[in-house]
Structure 1
Amino acid sequence: MTLQQLEYILAVARHRHFARAAEACFVTQPTLSMMIQKLEQELGVQIFDRSRKPVALTPIGEMILERSRKILKEAEGISELVRAYKGHIEGTINMGIIPTLAPYILPLFARPFLEKHPGVKLKIWEYTTGQIVRHLRSGALDVGLMATPVHSPGIEEFPVFYEPFVVYTTNTYEKEFLLPKDIDPSQLWLLEEAHCFQSQVINLCELRQKSGQRLDYQAGSLETLIHLVDSQKGITILPQLATLTMPKGQRRRLKPFLPPAPAREISLVVYQGFARDRMLAAVKEAIVGALPNGLKKEQELRVVDIDIRI
């Protein structure tokens, strides 16, 4: 039994297809299949049910998969120990970032981070909170960057920064700062339910249901919300990073909340047993260093709850 064979098991379980698993592992399909068959012969059990399409784990295969993940994590821990001893940070980071954050934070920190750590390869996926948690548990992701807390068993959270919410509206308000009660639910545009940011806006405005809109549309992105307000009028709520590149005409439609302003906690999250502490610290350092000054300074904020239990 070798670590390579265990990695092949994880790849087939993830892709549920031998050819795609082989491609992901940079080997030929016959090589990958032969190595898994050798392990099955050595153990005297069948790990995969090849008669099913897509290929599936057998009951004992499920147990072997779970133990394989733990063994590979321990092995990675040894490699991380050696890298830390040598003062190196290298290897591949598989990272998931929520869609309401990825387009705004990734351009800020990715290039400086990779330039500082030339031995690192960064692979990024945009996933919802639920998808990030599931992929952390399966081992498909090493780390997530998302809004917290999520109160999910086995998930460890490391806060990085706090991002205030702002109002984007075509309405005219005489007051300088708004309160959540100033938001008319019938004019509010929301993200679709899969996004944790939607639940934070609902909690902030204490919404039960929207009423009075003849066009009821739940958007898939913050950019869509902005365009809806511009074209259909009304109100939406945005995290601050989503407003930084707005042209002047749109920036005039922004209104801040009265301090303590509502905000979301953004954290790096990993599954328990994650051993690459230096890598995690380096990613956090890069993100914090790339933040606009307004997000680095002390602010009077209150974190809005997320109604997600995963």
Structure 2
Amino acid sequence: MIIRNFEYLLALNKERHFARAAAECHVSQPTLSAGIKQLEEDMDVLIVKRGRKFEGFTPEGKRVLAWAQQMMEDCVRLKRELHELREHGMQGPFRLAMLPATSAISSVLSIAFSEKFPDIQMSTETGDVTQLLHAVRNGGVDVALTYIDEPMTDGLDAFALYRERMFLFTSTDAGEADRVSWADVAALPLCLLRSAMPRSAELQLERASKMIYTDSTAVLAAHLNTGRWSTVLPQSLASTLPSVSSLRAIAIVKPVEQANVGFVTVKSNPLPAAVHAFMEMAHSPEMVSAIRAMLTAYQKFRVKSPR
């Protein structure tokens, strides 16, 4: 199909007259009529009610007209983005939101993106899942890196980036085990980083005997340093933990021992140029290697592989 034929259709809808629509498109009336006829053949439907004069659109034609309008708007937006890229390169504000659980990975991505596109004005913020989705939906941020195991609400799209396990990090006697149940974890004094686990994992700890939530990694580290407090974290955050000789990473067994992490954006096809470039960069070989390194950081705590 030729985009020009959609322009003819839109002009006819605007002018409601074949001759005036042709004049609007700077073509002859036979050329316009032939273009619309070709569109009907391509779609295999009758689009225009034909008589001695323009009589309107068929029901199928009205649907084609709606799609034609969307396609032309997409073409205009694409041309604008390509012009901006050609004339100015990637620039302007770019806002990335993240969970505390994804902050280590997000930091690697934001640094790389800022260095690749120095004219981008990068900003980051953290929040819980509800806050992040609200910010994306209302245009407060461009991309959120968050848990994506729950179905997205209307108007949002999710794009998977990686999957990781939840681990118990402890210096207590539980550190001698090679795996642990949620019930055993809940029996320990826990200092937990807020929004560092998916909601399904948090529910497993609702009956924990002793639990403190904090927004501060320094507070979390201080508790772990005592040797009396433990925590649960996704494996990508292991690199942020203090080097305590007795601290061990213990794999947590099912259920909800793993979580999917990915990007959430406003539903758009195509994606805005900067958002597309950011997600494309995240899947580049360099970033994949960097993410893989962060996902294996827990190994320094000598966790044994689950059976």
TM-score norm. by structure 1 comes to 0.57
Which whole-Å deviations, capped at 9, do the CAs of 1:104-124 have from their partners, x for residues lacking one? Answer: 224423232222223322121
Residue 208 of structure 2 is matched in structure 1 by 210
Cα displacement (A) at 1:240: 1.7
Q: Distance in 2 between matches of 1:261 and 1:251?
A: 26
Letter in 1 for 2:208: K
Is the 2:191–2:229 Cα contact (8 Å) retained in structure 1? no
**Residue in 2 that maps onto 1:147:** 147
What is residue 265 of structure 1 aligned with on the other side?
260
Following superposition, the deviation at residue 269 of structure 1 comes to 0.7
Partner amino acid for 1:293?
Answer: R
Which runs of structure 2 are paired with 1:38-53 in the superposition (5 Å)? none
Structure 1 residue 239 and structure 2 residue 239: aligned? no
Contact 1:147/1:196 (8 A) holds in 2: no
Residue 198 of structure 1: CA displacement?
A: 5.9
Q: Alpha carbons of 1:183 and 1:156: their partners in 2 closer, same or farther (altered >3 Å)?
A: same
Q: Report what 1:165 is aligned to.
A: 166
CA distance 1:293–1:175, change in 2 (3 Å): same
1:181 and 1:136 map into 2 onto residues whose CA distance is: 32
The answer as to whether partners of 1:190 and 1:225 remain within 8 angstroms in 2 is yes
Q: Map 1:11-160; keep pairs closer than 5 Å.
A: 79-83=80-84, 88-102=89-103, 104-151=104-151, 152-160=153-161
Residues 153-211 of structure 1: per-residue CA shift (max 9 Å, x gap): 2221011112322211121247652132462413142547x7362624334xx344223
Preserved CA contact (<8 Å) 2:186 2:205 = yes
The aligned amino acid for 1:249 is V
Over the matched positions of the two proteins, sequence identity in percent amounts to: 16
How far did residue 255 of structure 1 move?
2.5
State the distance in 1 between where 2:295 and 2:206 align: 34
Aligned residues: 219
Indicate the RMSD between aligned Cα atoms, in angstroms: 3.7
Corresponding position of 1:293? 292
Deviation at residue 90 of structure 1 after TM alignment: 3.3
Distance 2:148 2:171 in 1: 30
CA–CA distance in structure 2, aligned partners of residues 146 and 198 of structure 1: 9
Is the alpha carbon distance of 1:81 and 1:188 closer, same or farther for their aligned partners in structure 2, counting shifts above 3 Å? Answer: farther
Higher relative contact order (CA 8 A, sep 6+): 1
Please say which structure displays the higher CA radius of gyration.
2
Name the CA shift for 1:143/1:198 in 2 (closer, same or farther; >3 Å): closer
Change (3 A) 1:156 1:93: same
State the SS of the aligned residue for 1:130: helix
The structure-2 alpha-carbon separation of the partners of 1:163 and 1:251, relative to structure 1 and needing over 3 Å to count, comes to farther
1:15 paired residue number: none
Q: Distance in 2 between matches of 1:189 and 1:277?
A: 42
Structure 1 match to 2:222: 227
Match of 1:201 in 2: 201
Q: Residues 231 and 247 from structure 1, CA distance in 2 versus in 1: closer, same or farther, beyond 3 angstroms?
A: closer
Q: Deviations over 1:116-144 (max 9, x none)?
A: 22332212122222111112222121211
How much has 1:267 moved relative to structure 2? 0.9
Structure 2 match to 1:17: none
Distance 1:251 1:243 in 2: 14
Which ranges in structure 2 are unaligned for 5 or more consecutive residues? Answer: 1-72, 297-307
Looking at structure 1, the residues matched to 267 and 93 of structure 2 have their Cα atoms a distance apart, in angstroms, of 19
Q: Quick one: structure 1 residues 234 and 200, their matched pair in 2 at CA, closer, same or farther if it must change by over 3 Å?
A: farther
Greater shift in the superposed pair: 216-225 or 145-154:
216-225
CA contact (8 A) 1:166 1:257 kept: yes
> Where do 5+ consecutive residues of structure 1 fail to align?
1-72, 298-310
Shift of the 270–158 alpha-carbon distance from structure 1 to 2, 3 Å rule, reads same
> 1: distance between equivalents of 2:77 and 2:246?
47
Q: TM-score, normalised by structure 2?
A: 0.58
